[in-house]
Amino acid sequence: MASEDDSPKAWLYETPTSFLQLIYGDIIKESGSYYKDETSTLEETMIHNMDLCCERAQIKEGQSVLDLGCGYGAFILHVAHKYKTCSVTGITSSISQKHYIMEQCKNLNLSNVEVLLADVATIKLDATFDRIFAAGMFEHINDYKSFLRKISEWMKPDGLLFVEQLCNKTFPYQNKPLDDGDNWGEYVFPSGGLIIPSASLLLYFQEDVSIVNHWTFSGKHAANKLEELLKRIDAKIDAIKGIFSECYGSKDAIRFINHWRVFLITAAVMFGYNDGEEWMGVHVLFKKKCWRLWRSLV
Ligand SMILES: C[S@@+](CC[C@H](N)C(=O)[O-])C[C@H]1O[C@@H](n2cnc3c(N)ncnc32)[C@H](O)[C@@H]1O
């Protein structure tokens, strides 16, 4: 279907999988969550979030589903399990993520999943899909216009694109290191900056896709998740020290733990600010633009 990029960047999305398993459990979803009520466990909020995404993206049996920046495959594994006749493809630039997903497919006996190791910004795909999904992915893309054009070419005529983002209610901005010494962000996110969108940012890029629906949800869902992850780090600190020592060396292990703790604390405060009404979650559903449809027919 596509040529694989055999030299993916060694980003910190290559975080040791055993660390992520320790704090997330079986469902490693590094994007939105949705707490049904106060008694929900982290795992239940992930499942609830993914069920909501399936419903809003109108996923049905028999469809082809593409997940851009699929991470550790939480969504593709969920869809492949829930809709046994869907064929599900994930794209990730991380070798360890691909290995993890393929391992999970074996454990769960799923044969309807394919994972492509590639950069979504440069990959060439011949196939088209019924549904395209992207959670926490657009934040890493600098050129929305070209990216959405490319995605529209991967959408079937009646295909839909569903995007999940964490955003600021009003203002988009770029998280970028200020100078060479300011590389904190690189311990958590890939270097090169991260776009924090506003809730409406994607709506300004409708040349190749048209809006179908748009939902926002309180930042408190993300704040709760981040606080829970922090509690789990603190509860398992010795095991994590061991994992990080093996991976980064004992001198850097504490540094990485501190980076994770600071990241989780600041992000939890940010998403909880103003009762979750300042930074929040957004879901956006697009269809293929009509002129693109017409173009593909002539
Ligand atoms: C915030 S995480 C979200 C992962 C996943 N969608 C989820 O919900 O758990 C963003 C993911 O995008 C992937 N990513 C970022 N830029 C990418 C690129 N240019 N090509 C492929 N994957 C990319 C990273 O590897 C990371 O797993």
Higher-scoring residue by pLDDT: 177, 68:
68
Q: Which of 42, 140, 221 to mutate to test the pocket of ligand 1 (most atoms within 8 A of CB)?
A: 140
Asked if residue 64 has pLDDT above 70, the reply is yes
**Per-residue pLDDT tens digits for 260-277:** 898 899 999 999 999 999
Asked if residue 11 has pLDDT above 50, the reply is no
Asked whether 276 lines ligand 1 (CB < 6 A), one says: no
pLDDT at residue 190, as a whole number: 61
Q: What is the per-residue burial (b if ≥16 Cβ within 10 Å, else e) of 99-124?
A: ebbeebbeeeebebbbbbbbebeebe
Q: How far apart are the first and last CA of the chain?
A: 24
Asked if residue 5 has pLDDT above 90, the reply is no
Alpha helices per DSSP H over the chain: 17-24, 42-56, 74-82, 95-108, 144-154, 185-188, 220-235, 237-248, 250-276, 290-297
pTM over 0.75: yes
Q: Which residues contact 23 (CB under 8 A, 6 or more apart)?
A: 229, 232, 233, 236, 240
Distance 108 CA to ligand 1 centre (A): 23
Question: Measured on CA atoms in the order 34, 39, 41, 47, is the torsion positive or negative?
Answer: negative
**Per-residue pLDDT tens digits for 162-215:** 999 999 999 999 877 777 666 555 555 665 568 899 999 999 999 999 999 999
Distance 92 CA to ligand 1 centre (A): 6
Asked whether 194 lines ligand 1 (CB < 6 A), one says: no
| SS3 (DSSP) at 179 | coil
Distance 14 CA to ligand 1 centre (A): 11
Asked if residue 150 has pLDDT above 90, the reply is yes
* Domains, the chain, with CATH or none: 12-297 (3.40.50.150)
Distance 165 CA to ligand 1 centre (A): 12
Return the percentage of the chain with pLDDT > 70, whole number: 87
Local confidence band at 256 (pLDDT 50, 70, 90 cut-offs): confident
pLDDT at residue 91, as a whole number: 98
